[in-house]
Amino acid sequence: MHMLVNCSNCHIPLQLPLGAQSIRCALCQAITHIADPRSLPPPLPPPPQPYNYYSAPTLPPPAPSPYNHAPPGPPPSPHGRKKAVICGISYRYSRHELKGCINDAKCMRHLLVNKFSFPESSIIMLTEDETDPYRIPTKQNLRMALYWLVQGCQPGDSLVFHYSGHGSQQRNYNGDEVDGYDETLCPLDFETQGMIIDDEINATIVRPLPPGVKLHAIIDACHSGTMLDLPFLCRMNRSGQYVWEDQSPPSGVWKGTNGGEAISFSGCDDNQTSADTSALSKITSTGAMTYCFIQAIERGQGITYGSMLNSMRSAIRNTGNDLGGGPVTSLLTMLLTGGSLSGGLRQEPQLTSYEPFDVYAKPFSL
């Protein structure tokens, strides 16, 4: 069980484990004390130095370990024109297990490298298949990868965050959610370390974006409609007509960027979930959204954001029909388990943005 407390410095909500008397904010590193300081446990170690994902995080002096080494290969350029974090979590050997998420991650990397010319050295992969301990999709590793994504970004940069795994919700207590719930990502160790809430995701990769930098997020999870807490949601009907719905927090907290662009495609609306269906249905919905995103691009239906969203929604409504496409779609078909895109789905992909725009006029590109 966790309770929410606001950081004493930046006021971001933090999940306090039951019984804990203090907590360090992952964003500003301030320590918030919950009890009389005389009864607090020993001080926490100093905050980590600016994070380089290809170096081990700064930790207290450790005992000798085979993991205390820098991963092989050249580090991604901190000022690369294109950077991506791709996270696929299967929750293997647990009651939460999913089958399609690591495949989603592999296919997204294939798409970014071969279709949009992302350098492989500028893509961080977080899956259980990785051998580097800092690329296992734990809460701390995912947080650090998101910090890395926006580190040193400059005008002209294109950033991508793709997540395929479990999403959830928890009650919001600071009044910045229209529906009263925060959306959350569930890292591999969420049952012991807690979830990552949308407030933190927004503060980490949305609000710092300077002019000239664009961020795209593709969130393939339940309750993912406003996972980046962006202030505007595109409400689109089946005939393609749309309106922008203002999702700005009632509290007045700013959830936009620092002048850059941030746009998110998500697998379903905030209130949609497949938690009450069979495991296969959840696996299907997880894989289908990424599949339809890639398929729309390969079929030439991703010219604008409007055509992209329409194509994804139509494909998910018509799952089980012809799913032919280009080489990435073929790879996806090969990787996904049999029957993972049949039966028809009820979730509808959503589009959120840092500001309203004409979805049929704005070209889509990563």
pLDDT tens digits along 129-160:
999 999 999 999 999 999 999 999 999 999 99
Pair (228, 148) in one structural domain: yes
pLDDT band, very low/low/confident/very high, at 72 (cuts 50, 70, 90): very low
- The residue segments making up the domain with residue 3 are 1-49
Kindly report which listed range (40-44, 209-213, 351-355) carries the lowest average pLDDT score.
40-44
Pair (25, 145) in one structural domain: no
Residue 62 lies in a domain: no
Question: What is the domain count for the chain?
Answer: 2
Q: At residue 52, does pLDDT exceed 60?
A: no
Q: What is the per-residue pLDDT for 82?
A: 96
Residue 70 lies in a domain: no
CA–CA separation, 188 and 166 (whole Å): 9
Q: Is-contact 142 185, C-beta < 8 A?
A: yes
Which percentage of the chain shows pLDDT scores above 70?
66
Pair (155, 277) in one structural domain: yes
Pair (295, 339) in one structural domain: yes
Q: Does 11 qualify as catalytic in the annotation?
A: no
Residue 274 lies in a domain: yes
Which secondary structure element, helix H or strand E, spans residue 85, and what is its range? Answer: strand 82-88
Pair (260, 134) in one structural domain: yes
Question: Using one digit for the tens of pLDDT, what is the confidence trace for 281-322?
Answer: 333 444 678 888 999 999 999 899 999 999 988 887 776 444
Pair (131, 199) in one structural domain: yes
pLDDT band, very low/low/confident/very high, at 183 (cuts 50, 70, 90): confident
DSSP letters, 203-266, are HHHTTTPPTT-EEEEEEESTT-TTTT--SEEEEE-TTS-EEEEE---TT----S-SSSEEEEEE
DSSP letters, 145-161, are HHHHHHTT--TT-EEEE
Residue 59 lies in a domain: no
In the chain, the N- to C-terminal Cα span, in Å, equals 39
Exposure class string for 92-129: b at 16+ Cβ within 10 A, else e: eeeebebbbbbbbbbbbbbbbbebeebeeebbbbbbbe
pLDDT band, very low/low/confident/very high, at 3 (cuts 50, 70, 90): low
Residue 361 lies in a domain: no
**162, 166, 216, 223: which is the annotated catalytic residue?**
166
Q: Is-contact 317 236, C-beta < 8 A?
A: no
Residue 56 lies in a domain: no
Question: Within 13 Å of residue 322, how many CA atoms lie on the same side as its CB?
Answer: 4
Q: What is the per-residue pLDDT for 182?
A: 78
Pair (157, 290) in one structural domain: yes
Pair (112, 204) in one structural domain: yes
Pair (30, 87) in one structural domain: no
Q: At residue 184, does pLDDT exceed 70?
A: yes
93-98 LR contacts (CB < 8 Å, sep 24+): 96/166, 96/186, 97/279, 98/165, 98/166, 98/279, 98/282, 98/283, 98/286
Q: Indicate the residue type of 15.
A: Q
Pair (16, 122) in one structural domain: no
Q: Is-contact 250 296, C-beta < 8 A?
A: no
Q: At residue 236, does pLDDT exceed 60?
A: yes
Q: Is-contact 304 232, C-beta < 8 A?
A: no
- Report the chain's mean pLDDT, rounded to a whole number: 76
Residue 360 lies in a domain: no
- The average pLDDT across 235-253 equals 88
pLDDT band, very low/low/confident/very high, at 243 (cuts 50, 70, 90): very high
Q: Identify which of 272, 95, 256 has the alpha carbon closest to the alpha carbon of residue 167.
A: 272
> Tokens 């070209």 label which residue?
363
Q: Does 222 qualify as catalytic in the annotation?
A: yes
User: pTM of the prediction?
Assistant: 0.70
CATH number of residue 270's parent domain: 3.40.50.12660
Q: What is the per-residue pLDDT for 366?
A: 93
- The average pLDDT across 344-356 equals 79
Q: Identify which of 141, 151, 144 has the alpha carbon closest to the alpha carbon of residue 78.
A: 151
CA–CA separation, 360 and 366 (whole Å): 17
Pair (113, 10) in one structural domain: no
> How deeply is 362 buried, as exposed, middle or buried, from its count of CB atoms within 10 A (0-12, 13-18, 19+)?
middle
Residue 205 lies in a domain: yes
**222, 234, 268, 292: which is the annotated catalytic residue?**
222
Pair (134, 240) in one structural domain: yes
Q: At residue 252, does pLDDT exceed 50?
A: yes
